[in-house]
Amino acid sequence: MTGSSEPAPPGRNRRVVLYGNPVLRQPAAPVRELDARIRQFLADLKTTMLEQDGLGLAGNQLGEPVAAFAFDPRTTGLDEPPTCMINPRVVATEGELEREEGCLSLPGIYEVIPRPELVRIAGIDETGRPVEREATGLLARAFMHETDHLAGRLFIDYLSELRRSLLARRLVEFEEREVKATTE
């Protein structure tokens, strides 16, 4: 993949789509080239994540099935600016931890689900170079959550039928809000 030495464009704070939008169930398409459109999209992902207090944000949450996600290494104490992982794939996992998790596409819902304790992902960084990153704790959880998004999976998919049925009413509300937002 070809990179670019041009400075990144300023990102825009965009609307995050809610549960019910079909794009959240659509597997994301791999990025083939870091052209101006994709670079703008990556900038938007980072800005939207930061402005809306997310730990991570996947491409399809901005309404486009683009295989990239933003994450903020500072959430686990790393002194690195927010960045994007492009065409990510999980190459190794270890252990398991149960923790509460939430999602900007299901605002206000927090549920305890198991995730690996340690995760290694491979992908492409914003300059077009292949990278591998290892994470533990909250960042490992974010990596699993975001790579799931790019495969069309949501964290509530891991809940028992009983837990999901308790959320049913709120899920319908998200669907209704999303229909309203996309038809206005």
Closest to Zn ion by CB, 42 or 103: 103
CB 71, min distance to Zn ion, A? 12
| 57 phi/psi in degrees, rounded to 5 | -155, 130
CB nearer to Zn ion: pick between 22 and 130:
22
Least distance to Zn ion, CB of residue 155, Å: 7
Q: Which is nearer to Zn ion, 39 or 149 (CB)?
A: 149
How many residues interact with Zn ion (rule CB under 5 A)?
Answer: 1
In angstroms, give the least distance from the CB of 4 to Zn ion: 28
Per rule CB under 5 A, is residue 16 in the interface with Zn ion?
Answer: no
Catalytic status, residue 117: no
Q: Which residue is nearest to Zn ion (CB)?
A: 103
**Closest residue by Cα to residue 48 from 11, 82, 94, 10:** 11
Residues 163, 90, 106: CA angle, nearest 5 degrees: 35
Q: Which of 64, 111, 126, 146 is catalytic?
A: 146
Please identify, using beta-carbon distances, which residue of 41 and 69 lies nearer to Zn ion: 69
| 3-state secondary structure at position 145 | helix
Among positions 87-106, residues that touch Zn ion (CB under 5 A) are: 103
What does the block give as tokens for 73? 């290494």
Instruction: Using the structure block, give the residue that is written with the tokens 């669907």.
Output: 175
> In 10 A of CB 150, how many CB atoms?
25
Applying the rule CB under 5 A, the residues between 42 and 61 that interact with Zn ion are none
User: From the CB of 79, what's the least distance to Zn ion, in Å?
Assistant: 25
Q: Which DSSP category does 131 fall into?
A: E
> In a 10 Å sphere around its CB, with 0-12 CB exposed, 13-18 middle and 19+ buried, how is residue 81 labelled?
exposed
The set of catalytic residues is: 146
Residue ranges that bind Zn ion, judged by CB under 5 A: 103
